[in-house]
Amino acid sequence: MTPRRFDDFVAGETIDLGSVKLSQDDIIAFAEDHDPQPFHTDPAAATSSIYGGLIASGWQTACLFMRLLAANLLNESLSLGSRGLDDLRWLAPVRPGDRLTASIEIKKTRVSTSKPDRGVVTWRGSMRNQDGVEVMTIDATFMIGTGRT
């Protein structure tokens, strides 16, 4: 398969990235490693929190998105990494048993002025749950090789 190059990314395109389901055990395991707050790790304590029950760490939602983005787009592209992101919003709680579906919309592209072998793609990502509720948005960029040197 020919990998996607910078020129293959066009503003306005929406790319589906697939979906992933997460269990209570997934939520607790991630949080114990990376975000050990009681409303992410302890179902009993979470019940008396403002969330009324266990919720996933927002960083887990972001990492699930990243995995789908890497596996279903970047690893089929001339991906060169990213310098960061501009905005990340956790809009609604993610709970045990939720299935999250990811997509990105390409917003803008520009060839690097200093390095003609790559371009910068600006995009908005979205995660929705099984009820169609948007649980996360992310505005960010990645660098993609042009295939020219």
Tell me if 132 contacts its own copies by CB under 8 A.
no
Residues 6 or more apart from 139 whose CB is under 8 A from it?
Answer: 85, 86, 87, 88, 107, 122, 123, 124, 125
Tell me if 12 contacts its own copies by CB under 8 A.
no
| Nearer Cβ to its own copies (6/12) | 6
| Nearer Cβ to its own copies (12/45) | 45
At residue 69's C-alpha, the angle toward residues 120 and 137, to 5°, is 80
| Nearer Cβ to its own copies (12/71) | 71
| Nearer Cβ to its own copies (44/50) | 50
Q: Which two tokens stand for residue 94?
A: 């993610």
Tell me if 57 contacts its own copies by CB under 8 A.
yes
Tell me if 97 contacts its own copies by CB under 8 A.
no
Burial classification of residue 44, based on how many CB atoms lie within 10 Å of its CB (0-12 exposed, 13-18 middle, 19 or more buried)? exposed
Tell me if 148 contacts its own copies by CB under 8 A.
no
Total residues in contact with its own copies, by rule CB under 8 A: 36
Among 84, 113, 114, 131, binds its own copies (CB under 8 A): 84
CA distance 149 to 147: 7
Tell me if 37 contacts its own copies by CB under 8 A.
yes
Q: What is the residue type of 2?
A: T
| Nearer Cβ to its own copies (46/103) | 46
Using only C-alpha atoms, the chain has a radius of gyration, in whole angstroms, of: 17
Positions in the binding site for its own copies (CB under 8 A): 33-39, 49-51, 55, 57-59, 62-64, 66-67, 70-71, 74-75, 79-91
